[in-house]
Amino acid sequence: MSAPVRAFTVRHVQLLRALFAAIAALMITFSPDHSAVIGFAVFGGFVAMSAVALVLGAWLAVPAGSRWSLILLAVVDLLAGFFSSVPGWRTEAMFFIVVIVWAAASGLIELLAGLRARRTDPAAKDAITVGALGLVLAVILLLIPVNYALSYTVEGAGALMLTGIILAVGMVGGYTAIIAVFLAIAGFSPRRSVPAGDETTKDAVTEDATSASVETGGAA
């Protein structure tokens, strides 16, 4: 008996995550204020809504044995959202700590989940890419000094200051923009039911077809 068709699939999870990432990217891009307070507000909203999409995916889109990665990612997102929501913790140093830990943890979970499922799950390559991008974000933020400050002058605008937190919030905006585009493309792309290179799955399909052919011939 064939498995029931799911109304809510991994494709929908990807599109929801792309939508929330796009909103975060637009808010950061068009905000003149890249302070830790604004960065936390946008980042906290992004991870909280992403957690909702992941919980829905774990509940509705995947079988019970494959839910661990979505549940872990949702937990990491919810924890990051909690730390982002505490007013007294919205400092520049805390922004770096929360985002770096979140990016490293979620990136590692998604990367490992994708690698484990790459032979059986058509969406595994997407998870590998998203996980790798999270780890890249963590590394980039680690390389930005928290107390970095560069004064410069722009004709017509006067003296300006480029700081570490401005760079960090901007990097989060760039990350969410890339994730939004990638997951949107992944969500709208056609997907094969049997991944190429999965010899075990191919052999099983071939064996089932052969058995069916033999039974049909015998019945005739």
**% of residues, the chain, pLDDT over 70:** 83
User: The dihedral of CA 55, 58, 59, 62: what is its sign?
Assistant: positive
By C-alpha distance, which of 184, 187, 189, 190 is closest to 19?
184
Q: What is the pTM of this model?
A: 0.82
Mean pLDDT of 187-198: 61
Q: How far apart are CA 39 and CA 24, in angstroms?
A: 10
Mean pLDDT of 36-53: 97
The torsion angles phi and psi of 161, rounded to 5 degrees, stand at -130, 125
DSSP annotation of 62 reads S
Q: How far apart are CA 98 and CA 34, in angstroms?
A: 16
pLDDT in tens, 158-178: 778 899 999 999 999 999 999
- Backbone Cα Rg of the chain: 22
- How would you write 144-204 as a 3-class SS string? CCCCCEEEEEECCCEEEEEEHHHHHHHHHHHHHHHHHHHHHHHHHCCCCCCCCCCHHHHHH
Residue 205 reports pLDDT greater than 80: no
Task: Sort strands 158-163 and 149-154 into parallel, antiparallel or unpaired.
Answer: antiparallel
By C-alpha distance, which of 139, 220, 189 is closest to 14?
189
